[in-house]
Amino acid sequence: MDWFLIQYFKREEFDSLDEPGSGDRMSPQFVMLLDRIRHNCGFLFQIKSGFRTFARNFEIGGEENSAHLRGLAADIYTPSSWHRDAILKHAYRYGVRRRGIAKTFIHLDIDETLPQDVTWLY
């Protein structure tokens, strides 16, 4: 992936905590999509979780078939309902068909091997 094409993120933001450099395993298509969503939101995104190794996913109790394992998902910190709403609005606009909502983050993913047109709560 050519990170020079990405305006708002650095590879390290997507690294699994147990594997430096693993942000390179993120889907370029997905990171470019997040970059567009971030641009339209007009505020900083803090990536809480991007790519995950199997060990890290197990450690935090992630789903066994998580899109994070394939570099197709990100959890974005949201300090307020306004931030959640803005991210979701633009995610819908750009066709993100899998969304999870928590009090402090939004999960977005584009994993087509998992159920589509779904929104869930944590």
Of 46, 41, 55, the C-alpha closest to 85 is 41
pLDDT for position 1: 79
Domain span at 9:
3-121
CATH number at residue 106: 3.30.1380.10
- CA torsion through residues 7, 32, 86, 106, sign: negative
Strand pairing of 105-109 and 47-49? Answer: unpaired
Report the predicted TM-score, pTM, of the whole model to 2 decimal places: 0.96
Angle between helices 81-93 and 28-41 (to 10 degrees): 130
- Domains identified in the chain, total number: 1
> How confident is the model over 24-79, as pLDDT tens digits?
999 999 999 999 999 999 999 999 999 999 999 999 999 999 999 999 999 999 99
Of 15, 31, 16, 38, the C-alpha closest to 89 is 38
pLDDT for position 110: 99
> How confident is the model over 88-118, as pLDDT tens digits?
999 999 999 999 999 999 999 999 999 999 9
